[in-house]
Structure 1
Amino acid sequence: MKLLCLSNGHGEDVIAVQIIKALYQQTDQIEVVALPIVGEGIAYQKSRIPIIAPVKKMPSGGFVYMEARELWRDLQGGLVGLTLAQLKAVQRWGKQGGMILAVGDIVPLLFAWLSQTNYVFVGTAKSEYYLQDEVGWLPQTSFLQRKLGSVYLPWERCLMKNRRCLGVFPRDSLTTHQLQQFGVRAHDFGNPMMDGLFPEVPIVEEREEARSLRILLLPGSRSPEAERNWELILEAVESIIAREKKRRLCFLSAIAPSLDLNPFCERLQAQGWQQNTTNSLSTPVQDKQGLEFQKGVTRLLLTQTAYHSCLLSADLAVAMAGTATEQFVGLGKPVITFPGEGPQYTPAFAEAQTRLLGASVILVKKPSQAATVLHELFSDPDRLQLIADNGKRRMGEAGASSQIAEYLVNQI
Structure 2
Amino acid sequence: MPGRLLVLSNGHGEDLIALRVLQALHRRRPELQIAVLPLVGEGTAYAAAEAAGMLRRIGPRRPLPSGGFSNQSLRGLLADLWAGVLALSWRQWRLVRRWGRSGDPVLAVGDLLPLLLAWTSGASYGFIGTPKSDYTWASGPGDAGFAGLYHRCKGSEWDPWEWTLMARRCCRLVAMRDALTARGLRRHGVAALAPGNPMMDGMVAQALPRELLKRRRLLLLGGSRMPEALGNLRRLLEALERLSEAEPLLVLAPCGSRPAPLEWEPLLVGLGYSLVQVPASLEAAAAWQRGAVLLVVGPGRFAAWAGLAEVGLAAAGTATEQLVGLGVPALSLPGPGPQFKLGFAERQSRLLGGSVAVCRTPDQLAQRLAVLLQEPVLRSALGHIGRRRMGPPGGGEALARLIEQRLLLTAAGQAG
Flag whether TM exceeds 0.5 (same fold). Answer: yes
Amino acid corresponding to residue 77 of structure 2 in structure 1: L
Go from structure 1 to structure 2 and tell me whether the alpha carbon gap of 1:149 and 1:194 turns closer, same or farther (over 3 Å shift).
Answer: same
The answer to whether the aligner puts 1:12 opposite 2:25 as a matched pair is no
SS of the equivalent of 1:388 reads helix
Q: CA deviation at 1:65?
A: 1.0
SS of the equivalent of 2:352 reads helix
For the aligned residues, what is the CA RMSD? Answer: 2.2
* Aligned equivalent of 2:220: 217
Q: CA deviation at 1:379?
A: 3.5
Residues of 2 paired with 1:263 and 1:27: CA distance?
Answer: 40
* Aligned equivalent of 1:102: 108
2:10–2:110: 8 Å Cα contact kept in structure 1? Answer: yes
* Aligned equivalent of 2:83: 77
Go from structure 1 to structure 2 and tell me whether the alpha carbon gap of 1:302 and 1:45 turns closer, same or farther (over 3 Å shift).
Answer: closer
* Aligned equivalent of 1:180: 186
Residues of 1 paired with 2:293 and 2:386: CA distance?
Answer: 29
Residues of 1 paired with 2:101 and 2:364: CA distance?
Answer: 56
Amino acid corresponding to residue 83 of structure 2 in structure 1: G
Amino acid corresponding to residue 19 of structure 2 in structure 1: V
2:36–2:56: 8 Å Cα contact kept in structure 1? Answer: yes
The answer to whether the aligner puts 1:235 opposite 2:252 as a matched pair is no
Residues of 2 paired with 1:297 and 1:56: CA distance?
Answer: 42
The answer to whether the aligner puts 1:321 opposite 2:321 as a matched pair is no
Query: TM-score of the superposition, structure 1-length normalised?
Result: 0.91
1:230–1:264: 8 Å Cα contact kept in structure 2? Answer: no
Q: CA deviation at 1:141?
A: 5.3
SS of the equivalent of 2:331 reads strand
The answer to whether the aligner puts 1:291 opposite 2:286 as a matched pair is yes
2:135–2:180: 8 Å Cα contact kept in structure 1? Answer: yes
* Aligned equivalent of 2:118: 112
CA-to-partner distance for each residue in 1:357-379, whole Å, 9 max, x for gaps?
A: 12201111111222221222233
Query: TM-score of the superposition, structure 2-length normalised?
Result: 0.90
Amino acid corresponding to residue 119 of structure 1 in structure 2: Y
CA-to-partner distance for each residue in 1:222-275, whole Å, 9 max, x for gaps?
A: 1111111122111122123xx222x33111112331324445222322333221
Amino acid corresponding to residue 295 of structure 1 in structure 2: R
Q: Map of 1:165-204 to 2, 5 A cutoff? A: 165-198=171-204, 203-204=207-208
1:104–1:125: 8 Å Cα contact kept in structure 2? Answer: yes
Q: CA deviation at 1:54?
A: 1.2
CA-to-partner distance for each residue in 1:18-73, whole Å, 9 max, x for gaps?
A: 11110111123412111111111222332122233211112222111121111112
Q: CA deviation at 1:116?
A: 0.8
SS of the equivalent of 1:368 reads helix
Go from structure 1 to structure 2 and tell me whether the alpha carbon gap of 1:260 and 1:52 turns closer, same or farther (over 3 Å shift).
Answer: closer
Q: CA deviation at 1:321?
A: 0.8
SS of the equivalent of 1:126 reads coil
The percentage of aligned residue pairs carrying the same residue is 38
SS of the equivalent of 1:17 reads helix
* Aligned equivalent of 1:304: 299
CA-to-partner distance for each residue in 1:261-312, whole Å, 9 max, x for gaps?
A: 4452223223332211x4xx427x6114x11012234311022231222212
* Aligned equivalent of 1:38: 40
* Aligned equivalent of 2:254: 254
1:190–1:396: 8 Å Cα contact kept in structure 2? Answer: yes
Q: CA deviation at 1:396?
A: 2.0
Residues of 2 paired with 1:98 and 1:194: CA distance?
Answer: 29
Go from structure 1 to structure 2 and tell me whether the alpha carbon gap of 1:382 and 1:204 turns closer, same or farther (over 3 Å shift).
Answer: closer
Q: CA deviation at 1:138?
A: 6.0
Residues of 2 paired with 1:144 and 1:325: CA distance?
Answer: 26
SS of the equivalent of 1:358 reads coil
SS of the equivalent of 2:107 reads strand
Go from structure 1 to structure 2 and tell me whether the alpha carbon gap of 1:73 and 1:332 turns closer, same or farther (over 3 Å shift).
Answer: same
SS of the equivalent of 2:70 reads coil
1:336–1:363: 8 Å Cα contact kept in structure 2? Answer: yes
Q: CA deviation at 1:205?
A: 4.0
CA-to-partner distance for each residue in 1:94-124, whole Å, 9 max, x for gaps?
A: 1111221110111101111111111111111
1:203–1:286: 8 Å Cα contact kept in structure 2? Answer: no
1:164 to 161, 165, 170: 170
* Aligned equivalent of 2:245: 244
Residues of 2 paired with 1:314 and 1:143: CA distance?
Answer: 36
Count of aligned positions: 401
5+ residue gaps, structure 1, are none
* Aligned equivalent of 1:271: 271
Residues of 2 paired with 1:206 and 1:365: CA distance?
Answer: 36
* Aligned equivalent of 2:73: 67
1:155 to 154, 161, 177: 161
SS of the equivalent of 1:282 reads coil
* Aligned equivalent of 2:412: none
The answer to whether the aligner puts 1:339 opposite 2:334 as a matched pair is yes
Amino acid corresponding to residue 71 of structure 1 in structure 2: L
5+ residue gaps, structure 2, are 409-416
Q: CA deviation at 1:353?
A: 1.4
1:217–1:252: 8 Å Cα contact kept in structure 2? Answer: yes
Go from structure 1 to structure 2 and tell me whether the alpha carbon gap of 1:65 and 1:93 turns closer, same or farther (over 3 Å shift).
Answer: same
SS of the equivalent of 1:250 reads strand
